[in-house]
Amino acid sequence: MSVNDIKHVDGGAQLEHRAALEIPADERVGPRLKLLRERRGLSQRELARRAGVTNASVSQIEQDRVSPSVASLRKLAGALGVSLAEFFASQHGPPPSPFQSAAELLEIGSGGVSLKLVGGAMSARTLQMLREHYEAGADTGPTMLQHAGEECGLILRGAIEVTVGAEVRVLREGDAFYFASTTPHRFRNLGDAPCELVTASTPATF
């Protein structure tokens, strides 16, 4: 490619300025966004769709060609499952403590699905572990989940219907699953009691 690490052409004075200031890569939003996106196995298009922005915006933001508005960045951070504060907070500083109380687990679910992330403050996590809670009737949605990596889980309480590809099964307390996340999958609580489980997956997609 004709691309060096220097960008100019039609870039305008603002960008040359930024390059001249030599802001470290891990303090710029572009590389940060890209890292968070790729860690989740999302394409620019998929992230853009979830965040309600265009794929071009994502591309330009990731390259630091533009400095996104707070509104756009908030939408993108939300689509990645982090708040704006967490988006920036994860850029620097070591993790405060190896321990977390139950209340400190980072909630990244919505609706009737609660997903509590262990070690959410770790900036370079490669492991993902979640405590999941499905209210009666809760569902990950008719659009099957599909992403890179593999995941497994253990049901602690209640029952849940798990769909993996063509296979469907209701799992109960003590039952478990393990599958490649590239296979379309879905979780539904068909019962009238909440279901609780612990899952782990890799790479860390949240």
Residues that bind DNA (CB under 7 A): 1-3, 9-10, 12-14, 43-45, 53-57, 59-63, 65-69, 71-72
Kindly tell me which of 26 and 69 has the beta carbon lying closer to DNA: 69
DSSP annotation string for 137-180: T-BS-SSPB--SSEEEEEEEESEEEEEETTEEEEEETT-EEEEE
Q: How far is the CB of 95 from DNA (least distance, A)?
A: 28
Angle of helix 44-51 relative to helix 55-62, nearest 10 degrees, comes to 120
Q: Between 47 and 82, whose beta carbon lies closer to DNA?
A: 47
CB distance 168 to 161 below 8 Å: yes
Nearest Cα neighbor of 49 from 61, 57, 41 is: 57
Specify the residue, 9 or 21, whose C-beta has the smaller distance to DNA: 9
Distance of closest approach, residue 121 Cβ to DNA, in angstroms: 26
Report the residue number, 51 or 162, with the smaller CB distance to DNA.
Answer: 51
CB of 23 to DNA, least distance (A): 14
Burial (CB < 10 A; 0-12, 13-18, 19+), residue 187, is buried
Least CB distance to DNA at residue 41 (A) = 9
CB 126 within 8 A of CB 204: yes
